[in-house]
Chains A and B, each alone.
Chain A
Amino acid sequence: MQVTNLIYFYVCAAIALLGALATVVARNPIRGAMGLMATILAIAGLFLGLHAHFLAAIQLIVYAGAIVVLFLFVIMLLGPSATSSRDQRGRVTRTASGALFLLVAAFGMYLVIRPGWGHAARLTSVPPEFGTIDAIGRILFTEDIGPFELSSALLIVAIIAAVAVARGRHASDEPQAHLRARKEQA
């Protein structure tokens, strides 16, 4: 049982890391979206191992079902121009910023992990209702009802904003529209 758990964890972790690397490295954004999909599926698997059944389902529905598909729609809408060019301008600055971020992150990881590695509290057994839809739903609709309603308001605002932003005219159309309006006035 112990060995099976370990193998499951390491397989999911390897898929997540490889998918993340593919997302960051891929020049073609379709491949990047597929890497992101692999990471999301692996994390949903890890959620199952952590007894977060409801969140694993939500992760699959919202991320894999909606967010990645939205990315793919936009990539296909943009067509070949969505692919990165080989332009090298600003390369030094970007590489330096990435290296600096890696240094800071490694230092932070060292500080956080050093005192606790190998001494973490032993995980206790899980109550049977932990992480189920029943338990999460009970909390969402009682003590966390305020944030829950606010998140629905946030989603509605985001939908309206997305429609308003994406519906705008082409920049090249703008002057002609002005001219047409002026002609109509005259």
Chain B
Amino acid sequence: MIPVEHYIALSAALFTIGGIGFLVRRNVLSTLMSIELMLNGVNLALVAFNRAQTQNHTGQIFTFFVIAAEAAEVAVGLAIVIALFRLKRSVRTDEADLLRN
């Protein structure tokens, strides 16, 4: 059996890669995909911890709801990307400065 800490280390690495991508990239599509990576890392940690506590399914149920929330987030996020593109003809996050000043 693979120890749980291996899974946790992998999930932390995925979360970190996603977080760095979220901060460093300016293409709004890459930013959204980085958020997906972070949430996937969190899902992996939840399922791995649930594997160590097999008397209940709390981690797996929580992951199920995270996936549902994520589908909603992606649908709205991509709609906002399309609206931003219509407004600015660009998908760069620093072009979205309507609320500046």
Residues of A within 8 A of B (CB): 2, 5-6, 9, 13, 16-17, 20-21, 23-24, 26, 29, 32-33, 36, 39-40, 43, 46-47, 49-52, 54-55, 58-59, 62-63, 66-67, 70-71, 74-75, 77-78, 81-85, 87, 89-90, 94-95, 97-98, 101-102, 105-106, 108-109, 112-113, 116-118, 120-124, 126-127, 130-131, 135-136, 139-140, 144, 147, 151, 154-155, 157-159, 161-163, 165-166, 168-171
- Min Cβ gap B28→A in Å is 9
Q: How far is the CA of A5 from the CA of B92 in the complex (A)?
A: 43
Query: Are the CB atoms of B40 and A113 closer together than 8 Å?
Result: no
Query: Are the CB atoms of A50 and B51 closer together than 8 Å?
Result: yes
Given contacts A24-B17, A95-B24, contact A140 B64 (CB under 8 A): yes
Interface residues on B, range: 35 or more
CB-defined contacts of A36 to chain B, threshold 8 Å? 33, 36-37
Query: Are the CB atoms of B50 and A162 closer together than 8 Å?
Result: no
CB-defined contacts of B32 to chain A, threshold 8 Å? 71
Given contacts A82-B27, A158-B72, contact A23 B67 (CB under 8 A): no
